[in-house]
Amino acid sequence: MPLLKYSAIRLLLLLVCVAGLQFVMGGWLLLLVAVVIAAAVSYLALGRFRDDSAAYLAGLAARRAAGVNSPGTDDEDEDREADVIARQSTPSKPQPGIINTRDSTN
């Protein structure tokens, strides 16, 4: 969750900048100046949160590269899907008194 915390703090910082600059200027220039100021303050003041977020993302990338969260390879997944399709497409034995909707002979 460090990424969510870092993003929320940056968004809050942007909103504070917009609210503070609204008394000085208006229009699209207000938003542009607020974004620049918020980015600068964020870079200078939120280094710890930024580093935590980067470490979190690096950990996710390392786990994904190692295949920790992946249940199987693509070949295994395709084989499982083919088995399921094959089981669904094979006709079942007709039973007396039951209409088989898969077989057109009944």
Q: pTM for the full model?
A: 0.57
Interior angle at CA 93, CA 100 and CA 101, nearest 5: 15
How confident is residue 76, by pLDDT bands cut at 50, 70 and 90? confident
Number of domains present in the structure of the chain: 1
Give domain status of residue 22, yes or no: yes
Q: Report residue 56 as tokens.
A: 């979190």
Give domain status of residue 94, yes or no: no
| pLDDT tens readout for residues 21-53 | 998 887 888 999 999 999 999 999 999 999 999
Give domain status of residue 51, yes or no: yes
Give domain status of residue 105, yes or no: no
What's the domain range around 16?
A: 2-89
Phi–psi pair at 8, nearest 5 degrees: -65, -40
